[in-house]
A = this chain, B = another copy of it.
Amino acid sequence: MTTRQPNRRGQGDQLRAELVDAASGLLEQVDGAEALSLRAVARAAGVAPQSVYLHFADKPALIAAVCEARFADLHTTLDATPSATPRARLRAMCLAYCDYALANPGQYRVLFSGPIESPDRAQHGVATLGLLLDAVRACDKPTASGGARAIALWAALHGIVTLRRDRPDFPWPPLAELIDTLLPGTIERRR
C-alpha cells in the first residue's frame, strides 16, 4: 500500500520490527488474532504478502512475536509502578494493569484470551502474574503465601477490563471503585 524502499543491505531485520508493529496496530481494529490476516499486516507494512515469510515461518509465528513484544511492554509498565507502601503499590499496580489493558484492548486480548501458540507465551504470562503475586505478598504477614488470593485478584482485573472492552455501552462505574471493592479480600485473611 504505502510505497516503501527495500532496506539497505544488513538492515533486513528492520522489516521484522515493522511487521510486528503493523500487526500490533491492526489487532486494535479486529476481533482477535484469528481475524487478523497476514495479508493485511503485509499491506499495512507496505510490503508483498510473501515478504512476511522472510521473517516468520507462518502466521502463528508472527502472532507469537507480537505477544512477546507486548508482554515485555506490560511487564515493564507493571514493574515501574511506584511504591510508597506495599498496599499503595499493589493498588497502583492494579490500576496500571487495567489502564494498559483498556488502552490496548486488542493487544491485551491476544496476550490473555487467544489460544497459546508457544510455551514462551505461557512463560511470559506467569512472569507477569509473578509481579502481582509479589505485590500481594508484600501486604501480608510474612507467613502468608497469597497464591490463591493473587490469582483471584488477577482474574478479577481480567474480568473488569475484558467486560469493559466487550460491553462498552454498559453503564460502568469508575474503574477505581471496582478495584477498591475487590482488592480488600485479596490482602487480608478471610474472616
Contacts and interface: CB of A to CB of B under 8 A. Distances in A.
A37 B147 CA distance: 41
Contacts of A159: 154-160, 162
Given A34-B35, A172-B151, A182 B156 contact: yes
Contacts of A177: 148, 152
B178 A151 contact: yes
A152 B176 CA distance: 11
Contact of A151 (B149, B154, B173): B173
Interface string A138-172: 00000000011101101111111011101101101
Contacts of A158: 159, 162-163
A114 interface: yes
Looking at chain A, what size class is its interface with the partner chain?
35 or more
A185 interface: yes
A32 interface: yes
Q: Is the interface of A mostly helix, strand, loop or mixed?
A: helix
Contacts of A107: none
Contacts of A166: 112-115
9 contacts: A116-B169, A125-B170, A148-B181, A151-B173, A152-B178, A155-B159, A158-B159, A159-B159, A162-B162
Interface of A: 31-32, 34-35, 112-116, 122, 125-126, 147-149, 151-152, 154-160, 162-164, 166-167, 169-170, 172-173, 177-178, 180-186, 190-191
Given A125-B170, A152-B160, A182-B185, 20 more contacts: A31-B115, A32-B32, A112-B167, A116-B167, A116-B169, A148-B181, A151-B172, A151-B178, A152-B156, A152-B173, A152-B181, A152-B182, A155-B164, A157-B159, A158-B162, A159-B159, A162-B162, A181-B185, A184-B185, A185-B185
